[in-house]
Copies of this chain bind each other. A is one copy, B any other.
């Protein structure tokens, strides 16, 4: 049994994490903390091996340092970390041989979708993305779609493949028909009431098609990934960025 403390336990994600950890067969919930609590003391008093952190960007960096310096493994879902901050924390964790993860997305399905997209692009470089979200999402494409195009670009690079005609827009009778082009991937953003968060990565090859589709129906979808991360970080001695590095 791994002893887990949840920091940010009164927030939306933190309170769900409390329940998920508590119900997990290999994890023991040793407590919850939030703003104003002395995180380092709680870690020691409760003997926490892992600290799940869902707080806000402004305090996230300090929390992460505190967790590592207290000898616990951080599982961080707080968003807004910059590259240099991740590097600093990775160095700190490496010095102390502590495993940890900072992840923008704990959904197992989304993480697998992105990994498979990268692998498939090595063999089928012609690919487009259609993502669907509720009508209140203002920005397009989604962050997940943008990240997926980066991974597709990586995949193509690994096998030295270039997309064919599909990166061309041909003749658009109405502007925008062929979508946005990001990293030589056409991305199409659908916004409709009723929808939550969905993405299809559609690969085309000679005489065939391969589609990887992820549907996110609720925020619950993050919890299995959080618990899996708690189980995995205690077996590692470095801090990684992205849940996928713990999966395989």
What residues of chain A have their CB less than 8 Å away from a CB belonging to chain B? 107-110, 112-113, 115-116, 119-120, 122-124, 126-128, 130, 132, 135-141, 146, 164-166, 169-182, 186-196, 202-221, 223-224, 228, 247-248
Contacts and interface: CB of A to CB of B under 8 A. Distances in A.
Contacts of A196: 217
A226 to B, nearest CB: 11
Residue from the set A119, A128, A136, A173 with the largest chain B CB neighbour count within 10 Å: A173
| 4 nearest A-B pairs in the assembled complex, by CB-CB distance | A192-B204, A174-B180, A207-B220, A207-B221
B218 A207 contact: yes
Given A108-B205, A187-B174, A166 B193 contact: yes
B173 A192 contact: no
A110 B181 CA distance: 27
Residue from the set A169, A178, A248 with the largest chain B CB neighbour count within 10 Å: A178
A207 B219 contact: yes
Contacts of A177: 140-141, 176, 179-180, 187-189
Per DSSP, chain A at the interface is mixed
A130 B198 CA distance: 14
B191 A180 contact: no
A170 to B, nearest CB: 5
Contact of A176 (B130, B176, B211): B176
Nearest to A128: B190
Given A135-B164, A139-B171, A177-B189, A204 B195 contact: yes
Contact of A205 (B179, B193, B219): B193
B126 A193 contact: yes
19 contacts: A116-B119, A126-B135, A126-B193, A132-B202, A139-B170, A176-B176, A176-B178, A176-B180, A179-B189, A186-B190, A193-B205, A194-B208, A194-B215, A206-B221, A207-B218, A207-B221, A208-B214, A212-B212, A217-B217
